[in-house]
Amino acid sequence: MLKIGLTGGIGAGKSTVSTILAERGAVIVDADVIAREVVAPGQPLLAELAGTFGPEVLTPAGELDRAALAAAAFADEESTAVLNALMHPAIRTRTLEQFARAAEADLIVHDVALLVENDMAPDYHLSLLVDVPAAVRLDRLVRTRGMDRADAEARIARQATDAARRDACDVVIDNSGSLEDTRRAAGALVDERLLPFARNLRARRRAERPAVALTEPGTADWTGEARRIIARLRRGTGERHPIEHIGSTAVEDLPAKDVIDLQLLVPDLAAADDLAPRLADLGFPGGEGFDHLGEDGREPKRFHANADPGRAVNLHVRTESSTGARFALRFRDLLRDDAEERRRYGALKRRLVDRHAGDPTACAEAKEPYFAQLRRRLVPESFDS
- Which residues carry a binding-site annotation? 11-16
* Residues tagged in the binding site annotation for ATP: 11-16
Length of the chain: 385
Name the H helices within 237-287: 269-281
- How distant, in Å, are the alpha carbons of 76, 222, 244, 340, 385 from that of 219? 47, 9, 21, 22, 44
Distance CA 162, CA 134 (A): 7
Residue 76: in which H helix or E strand, if any?
none
In the chain, the N- to C-terminal Cα span, in Å, equals: 52
Which residue type occupies 335? L
The maximal CA–CA distance of the chain, rounded, in angstroms, is 86
Distance CA 40, CA 341 (A): 65
Buried b / exposed e over 272-294, threshold 16 CB at 10 Å, is beebbeebbebbbbbeebebbbb
Distance CA 291, CA 328 (A): 10
Name the pairing type of β-strands 286-294 and 297-305: antiparallel
